[in-house]
Every structure is written in C-alpha cells, then in structure tokens.
Amino acid sequence: MASEIEVVAEASASPVSVVGEDGLKDDIYTAAAYGDLEKLQKLVEGDGCSVSEPDGLGYYALQWAALNNRSAAARYIIEHGGDVNAKDHSGQTALHWSAVRGAVQVAEILLQEGVLVNAADLNGYQTAHVAAQYGQTAFLYHILTKWDADVDTPDNDGRSPLHWAAYKGFADCIRLLLFLDAFRGRQDKEGCTPLHWAAIRGNLEACTILVQVGKKEDLMATDNTGLTPAQLASDKGHMQVAFFLRNAKRLLDNRCDGDRHLRKLMRLGLAPVLWFMIIVLLATYIHSVVIGLNLLSINAAFGFFAWLGILLATSGLVMFYRCSRKDPGYIKMNVHMGDLKDVDQEPLLKLELKNPALVAGNWSQLCCTCKIVRPLRSKHCSTCNRCVEQFDHHCPWVSNCIGKRNKWDFLLFLILETLAMLVTGVITSIRIFTDRTFQSSFSAWMTSAGNHLGAISFLIMDSFLFLSVATLTTVQISQISNNITTNEMANVMRYSYLKGPDGTFRNPYDRGVWKNCSSFLIKGYNEDTEHLEQPNRLEGIGVIQMT
C-alpha cells in the first residue's frame, strides 16, 4: 500500500492553507473553498466567471467547496451550472473530496443532485475507499446506509474499503464494514487480506476486531510470499501483534472444532473442577473435623455451628449451579445470512443501523458478530461468543459469563462460600488446638498432628481459598455499591460514557451506596439509568461537527 489518494493529498493543501490571509486570490475557487457566498455571487453574476471550468491544477470549484463542507457555496455552484459528476485529472468527483474530511452535508447535496456514489477514480477508489482511508466513519455510515454505496468493491489493486480501514487502523470503520458483511478474506494483488495489512502496520485494535469476528482460516491465510499475518507482524517488528495473532490461532486450535462432544466438554471449563474441590473439602471436613474419631466429642451448641458451615457450603453449591446454568443476560442475535439462506437479511440490518446510538456516533456499540447495536454496558464475550447485557466478566471457574441476570446468584454464591469457609475454618482450628496433646512436647505435637492430618490439611486449604474468595467477594460488593462492573473498571479509559467533560473518570450510573445496593438487592441487578445528565457520548470518531 505504497500509494495514498494522490488528489486528496493535494486537495488537503487548499488555497485556504496555501495563500495567506492578507493575500487571498480573487477567484471562484478561493471563494468556494472559504464558502464566501457574497464573493462567489459577485464573480459569477457580476464578472461572468464560469463555475464549470477547472483551475490551473485541474480542480473544480465544487470540489473545493466539498472539501471544506461549504454547503451553501456548493448549492450555489450547482444551481449555476456546476456539474456534480465532473472529474478532475485523477478521475475524482466532488463526492470523493467531501469524503476526505467527512463533509456529510455537502455529500447529501451532491447525492440528491445525482452524483454517482460508486464512481471510481483512476486508481479504482470509490467514495467508500476514500472515507475508509481517512477514517470518516460517520460519512461512511451515511453513504452506505442511505445511498447504498458498495461496501465491498475492490480498487485497481484489489483492495476493498476494509483493507484500507485495517491498514490505517480505523477501528470504527472496521466495525461498521464488518457489520455490513464486508468480505474479510478478500486478497489483493499481493495476496494480502485486511488482517495482513493490519498486522503489517502493527494495528493491534484492528487485528483484535478482525480476529474476533473471523475464523482460523483468516489467521492461516498467506500472501504471495507465503507469509501469514503473524509472520508479517513479526517481520515488521510488531512483536505484540505477532504474539496476539499466534495466541489467537493457538486458542482456535484448542477449540476442537471437529468433535461436537469435545466442544461440549471444553465449554464446561473449570466448573467441574471447582465443584469437585468443594465436595472433597466438605467430605474432609465432615470426616476429619465434625465426626473425627481422634478429636474430643462436641456438645450441641458447638455441633450446631459445625453443621452450619456444611449448610452454608451446600447452599453455596446450589447458587453455584444456578449461576453456571443461568442465562447471564445474552442479547438476542440477529440471524446471519449464512444461517438461513432463504431469509432476506438486508431490512433487518438497515433497521439496526437506524439505532440512535449510531446516529450519535457510538460506533463501539456495533457488534459485528451478533449483528446488533448492543446497549451501553454490554460487551461481546469471545468465550461465549455472545453479547452480554451489563457484562461483568467471564468467570472460568463458573464456566459462564457474569452479567445482568446472574450476578445476584454469583454474589450470593461468593458470600455463602466465604461464610462457610470462615465458620468451618474457625471450627476446625478450635477442634484441633483444644486437643491437649498440642500443648505438650514437640514430639507429642508432631504425633498429634499426624493423627489429625485430615483436619490440618483441610484447614490449610480452607485458609488459602478463604483469602482469594473473600477478596473477590469484597471487590464485587464494592463494585455493586458503586454501580460499576469489573469490565468497566478494567477498561475505564476505553468507555467515553465513564468520562466527564474534563476527561476524568465519572460514573453516571452511581446514585449513592444506599440506592445502588437497595436496587441490586430488590431487582437482582444495578440500574442502567443515568443518575446525572451526560453530554452526548461519542465513541471513536463520533459525529462530525459541521461548519
């Protein structure tokens, strides 16, 4: 991708930037670039200047007006004979130029006047290519959704808009193009896919999006020199990207795609391991502590607390099962075109693209896999391959996501198991250290320890697990009291809705500890309603400000 858009590079050096403020040229091109409608009228109607003739460089007044989003000037030029489909020496129209800076207003005027949205220049660049090259997501969104621009056409070198967006690292453009089913596996004349170009430039976020939506074949595709994206990233010195791509391939290799039964077994994760550990610990506690033959008999009051620990642990197992099996808040997916070939997917996608979140420029809410515009606070889980409402985290020990619908079960599981470990640990300590042999000589102490090996082993394991589970429980309670999720805490800089006007952290959902906790206890989840009015949240490029 050695070449850029040549005319666009020259167009960026407009008369506005070349000529000083004190010596502006008195011609229609400068007037159009500045949007000086009064001067434009004087030159056209008074001096008889033509708006349909190019300047010395071969560029038209309409192109200069389009580049700088001068909608009034553009409309005047069109009304006085300007050709919307006029091409300069590189084959570009005014619509190409409007794409450079995302001039949506001028583009709408041009399109309504009949400019060809898919007109290609001498390099084969259509307007969608130009918008992707400059990361103008709002512009791309406009021409793709309203004017049916071609999302996947290749240029003269076989590169689609997705190639260019991946090469430049414009994540929002990539999300939009993938949402509209742009072909990930398209290879250009050099044999490179969009993932190859993202890897060459070391664009980690672009690689991440392409890999999450893609398949193992995308990672294994080779260019004309026989190199995969990971190998190209390594050759260019982008070691973090190379590591990510190699690791992604390794994870996909371990998914056992060929065997349905193995896939089901892999989905179980570590939940059976944790279940087994709790059962073994309970059995050890009952056998070695509660009814231990080498320990003193216990009275009724002490026995109540001893069996209370068992009751708490058993109740925790019930909540553990519920949390593992319960829907965490999966958001309904839209049907993929490949799943039901007789279903027309176009109206459904167009309906999704009218979502107010996209109109506001929140492109990160697009899920290219589920084909939905997900709500704020939700996230696509790469393990479950689903979008989860109020996503907290994917817990490998529970083998499920923790989200809006099962967070209550998860918290109750943690609290019950923490209390169970606390009670059983205290009971075990009392049972062991009230044995008189522990108060005698060292040799007798060692003998007694050997007699109580099961109880001591349980105490060690119980103490180790208690520290980790109690810490996790404390963190979860703290986050619930502040109405924030683990995912939001870990990625606080990525989410603009968690930033105030000055760019510092601000949680719009925090209504105070009492209201946050009472809402969670009553409803089972925290409220999504914003407590404070926030300015328009923009993700990535956001809404283009018009002048």
Per residue in 435-478, pLDDT tens?
Answer: 655 555 545 555 555 567 778 888 899 999 999 999 999 999 99
Asked whether 441 and 489 are in contact (CB, 8 A), the reply is no
Which of the residues 367, 368, 381, 395 is marked catalytic? 395
Please tell me the distance from the alpha carbon of residue 230 to that of residue 328, in angstroms, as a whole number: 34
pLDDT at 435: 64
Q: Which two tokens stand for residue 79?
A: 């009304």
Mean pLDDT calculated for residue range 402-426: 95
pLDDT at 27: 85
Query: Which pLDDT band, with edges at 50, 70 and 90, does 520 fall under?
Result: very high
Q: Taking 50 as the threshold, does the pLDDT of residue 328 lie above it?
A: yes
Average pLDDT, the chain: 83
- 264 CB-near residues (< 8 Å, 6+ apart): none
Pairing mode of beta strands 393-395, 400-402: antiparallel
pLDDT at 133: 96
Asked whether 219 and 181 are in contact (CB, 8 A), the reply is no
Q: Taking 50 as the threshold, does the pLDDT of residue 424 lie above it?
A: yes
Catalytic residue check, 207: no
Residue 183: closest CA among 156, 157, 215, 205: 215
Query: Biggest alpha carbon distance in the chain?
Result: 115
Q: Which two tokens stand for residue 500?
A: 């105030």
Residue 411: closest CA among 496, 493, 249, 526: 526
Torsion angle defined by CA atoms of residues 240, 242, 244 and 248, in that order, rounded to the nearest 10 degrees = 180
Mean pLDDT calculated for residue range 483-507: 87
pLDDT at 436: 58
Asked whether 63 and 5 are in contact (CB, 8 A), the reply is no
Q: Decide which of 192 and 368 is more confident.
A: 192
Looking at 69-215, list the stretches that DSSP marks H as alpha helix, in order from N- to C-terminal side: 71-79, 94-100, 104-112, 127-133, 137-145, 161-168, 171-179, 194-200, 204-213
Asked whether 367 and 240 are in contact (CB, 8 A), the reply is no
Asked whether 174 and 211 are in contact (CB, 8 A), the reply is no
Question: CB count, 10 Å around CB of 189?
Answer: 12
Please tell me the distance from the alpha carbon of residue 61 to that of residue 341, in angstroms, as a whole number: 47
- 443 CB-near residues (< 8 Å, 6+ apart): none
Mean pLDDT calculated for residue range 75-94: 94
Question: CB count, 10 Å around CB of 398?
Answer: 24
Please tell me the distance from the alpha carbon of residue 456 to that of residue 459, in angstroms, as a whole number: 5
DSSP strands (E only) in 268-392: 366-367, 372-373, 379-381, 386-388
pLDDT at 351: 59
How far, CA to CA in Å, does 145 sit from each of 106, 176, 224? Answer: 17, 10, 34
pLDDT at 478: 95
pLDDT at 439: 53
Mean pLDDT calculated for residue range 75-104: 94
Sign, CA dihedral 155-68-93-17, equals negative
Please tell me the distance from the alpha carbon of residue 448 to that of residue 265, in angstroms, as a whole number: 43
pTM of the model: 0.77
Please tell me the distance from the alpha carbon of residue 497 to that of residue 500, in angstroms, as a whole number: 8
Q: Which two tokens stand for residue 262?
A: 């193995």
Bridge partners for 379 per DSSP: 388
pLDDT at 255: 61
Q: How many helices (H) and strands (E) does the chain have?
A: 27, 6
Please tell me the distance from the alpha carbon of residue 361 to that of residue 539, in angstroms, as a whole number: 6
Q: Taking 60 as the threshold, does the pLDDT of residue 98 lie above it?
A: yes
Residue 404: closest CA among 530, 526, 531: 526
pLDDT at 14: 38
Please tell me the distance from the alpha carbon of residue 284 to that of residue 458, in angstroms, as a whole number: 7
- Helices 407-433 and 300-325 cross at an angle (nearest 10°) of 150
Query: Which pLDDT band, with edges at 50, 70 and 90, does 17 fall under?
Result: very low
Torsion angle defined by CA atoms of residues 327, 248, 170 and 59, in that order, rounded to the nearest 10 degrees = -130
Bridge partners for 386 per DSSP: 381
Name the residue with tokens 């956001």: 542
| Encoded amino acid at 489, one letter | M
Express as a percent the part of the chain with pLDDT over 90: 56
